Amino acid sequence: MFVSNLTLDQLRNVLYDRLGRVYSGVRRTNATTRFDISVANVRANQIYVVGEVTQPGAYQISSLGTVLTALYAAGGVTERANLRSVEVRRADKAVATLDLYDYLLRGDVNDDVRLQTGDVVFVPVHGIRAEISGAVTRPAVYELRVGETLADLLGAAGGFRPNAQFKRIAVHRLLPPAERGPGSPARAVIDVALTVQPTNRLTVQVPPLSLLDGDSVIVDSVPRSAASSTWPSRGW
C-alpha cells in the first residue's frame, strides 16, 4: 500500500476498508479483530527562518513540524519582532499568516501551519505598540494590528481588575513635532470617558479610540476602602 501524503487518521480509514475485506472482525463498531499503526521514522524537511529571530538560517525539522517548531529552532523572536503577523512563504507566495498572540495569550494553536520542504518563515519588524498599566490583569507592552483600538488593547491585557476605576482611562501620547507648540510639553493626555451599565453583570463600554505607536494607557485603581464599600454584593 502507498501511504504517502496520508495522515494517520486517513490511513486508518484506508486500512479499515482494505483489511475488512479479508478479516470480518475488522470493523469500526463491535470489532473482534483490531490493528494499530505507528510512525517508525519521520523524514526531515529543510525550512528557512528569516527576519526578526535570534538565529536566522536554514533548519532541518521534522515533517510534522509547524511554524512554532521553526521559531523554537531559530531561538525565538527578537524584541523587534512582529508577533501579530508571522508569514509562511511557499514558492514565493504567502500561504499563511500566524498571529502569535492566539498562542501566547490563549494557548490556541489551531492556526499553526505544518511546514513543507523549502518553506520560508518570515518574522517582520513590529508595527504599532502601546503600553497599558494599572488595574488590568496583564499590564505590559502589546502590539496592535491595523484597525485595533483601545478596547482591543484592554482585551489583550485580560480586561479590568476588580479594583479598576470605571470612570475614565488616561492615554498618554507623544505628540508629533508638527503638533508641538512653543514651550508646550511633548506629551498630551487624552481622557477617555467610560460608560458603565450596571446590569446583572457589570458592563463597561470603551469608546473605539485608535492608538498610536508609543501610546501609554493607564487604568486607575479605586482605593481599597472605596472599592469594598461600593461593590459589596458583586465581589468587587
pLDDT digits (tens, 9 = 90+) for 95-116: 999 999 999 988 999 889 999 9
- Distance in angstroms (rounded) separating the CA atoms of residues 222 and 227: 6
Torsion of CA 226, 231, 232, 236, to 10 degrees: -90
The grid coordinates of residue 87 equal: 508569514
- Percent of the chain's residues with pLDDT above 70: 92
- Give the pLDDT confidence score for residue 235 in this predicted structure: 32
* Mean pLDDT on 88-97: 93
Q: In the chain, at which residue ranges do the beta strands (DSSP E only) sit?
A: 44-51, 57-62, 86-90, 93-98, 120-123, 128-134, 140-144, 168-174, 187-193, 195-198, 202-205, 216-219
List domains and CATH numbers for the chain: 1-40 (no CATH), 44-123 (3.10.560.10), 128-230 (3.10.560.10)
Residue 187: how many CB atoms within 10 A of its CB?
12
Residue 228: how many CB atoms within 10 A of its CB?
12
**Is pLDDT at 200 greater than 70 in this prediction?**
no
Strand order across the 120-123 sheet: 57-62, 44-51, 120-123, 86-90, 93-98
